[in-house]
């Protein structure tokens, strides 16, 4: 199973818009350089989990929201860092996988939250149930880029 990175996003503080980047630097056991969850500035930073250093989201979910629910949600709005294509993220819980040269371990599924509805102003909580992305731990760091392969090991 091989997917690829469609978009990369990060933001330095809670509530701020996510900005698209061509590449991001991942620091093992810390997070993404400059991202809110690497600097304890995220909305959920007071409930730290070692397995929540980087987050992933399927672009297919955005396409399904548009197709099935007429909801336009941009890749900058789901607030996960890595938007992927062609890889089933729900299958990567407890699994090691590579994004480019970086090694990640899927730790648990992300759950929808009210926070994202507040920020987007859209009622998306229910439609994101069971497809709200994946949390992962950074095992081996490095730089990831748009277009990188995502591959289960």
Partner 1 sequence: MLKYHHHVTAVVTDMRQETARVRSYELRDPDNWELPPFGAGAHVDIRLENGIIRQYSLCSDPGDRNFYRIAVQAEAEGRGGSLAVQDQLRPGAKVALSLPRNHFPLHVEAARHILVAGGIGITPFISMMEQLDQQNTEYILHYCGRDPASMAFHDLLLQPHRRGKVYFHYSETDQPNLLDLSQLAASAQSGDHLYCCGPGALIDAFLSATCALPPDTVHYEKFGGAAASGEGDIAFSVELASSGRTIDVGTHETILEALRRENVEVDASCEAGVCAACKTRYLSGTVIHRDLLLKGDDQKEFLIPCVSRCAGDKLVLDL
Stretch that binds partner 1, among 14-22, 86-94, 101-109, 143-151 (CB under 8 A): 14-22
Span interacting with partner 1, options 25-33, 34-42, 81-89, 143-151, rule CB under 8 A: 34-42
Q: Considering only residues 53 through 82, tell me which ones interact with partner 1, judged by CB under 8 A.
A: none
Residue 26 DSSP symbol: E
Binding of residue 48 to partner 1 (CB under 8 A): no
Residues 6 or more apart in contact with residue 28 via CB below 8 angstroms = 138, 139, 140, 141
Q: Are 30 and 38 contacting, i.e. CB atoms less than 8 angstroms apart?
A: yes
Farthest-apart Cα atoms in the chain, separation: 39
Q: How far apart are CA 61 and CA 127, in angstroms?
A: 10
**Which CB sits closer to partner 1, 44 or 147?**
44
In the DSSP assignment, the letter for residue 47 is S
Per-residue contact track with partner 1, 77 to 116, x per CB under 8 A?
----------------------------------xxxxx-
Stretch that binds partner 1, among 39-47, 60-68, 77-85, 140-148 (CB under 8 A): 39-47
What is the number of helices (H) and of strands (E) in the chain?
Answer: 2, 11
Choose, by CB under 8 A, the member of 71, 95, 109, 119 that binds partner 1: 119
Among 59, 56, 75, 64, which residue's Cα sits nearest to residue 135? Answer: 56
- Give me the residues that bind partner 1 (CB under 8 A), please: 11-17, 19, 36, 40-43, 45-46, 111-115, 117-119, 125
């Amino acid at each position: 199973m091989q997917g690829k990175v469609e978009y990369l996003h990060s933001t330095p503080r809670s509530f701020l818009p996510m900005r698209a980047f061509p590449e991001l630097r991942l620091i093992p056991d810390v997070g993404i350089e400059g991202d809110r969850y690497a600097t304890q500035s995220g909305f959920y930073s007071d409930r730290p989990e070692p397995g929540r250093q980087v987050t992933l989201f399927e672009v297919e979910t955005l396409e399904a929201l548009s197709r099935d629910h007429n909801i336009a949600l941009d890749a900058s709005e789901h607030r996960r860092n890595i938007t992927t294509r062609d890889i089933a993220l729900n299958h990567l819980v407890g699994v090691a996988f590579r994004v480019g040269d970086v090694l990640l371990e899927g730790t648990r599924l992300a759950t929808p939250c009210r926070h994202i509805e507040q920020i987007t102003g859209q009622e998306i909580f229910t439609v994101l149930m069971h497809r709200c992305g994946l949390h992962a731990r950074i095992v081996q760091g490095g730089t990831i880029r748009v277009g990188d392969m995502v591959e289960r090991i």
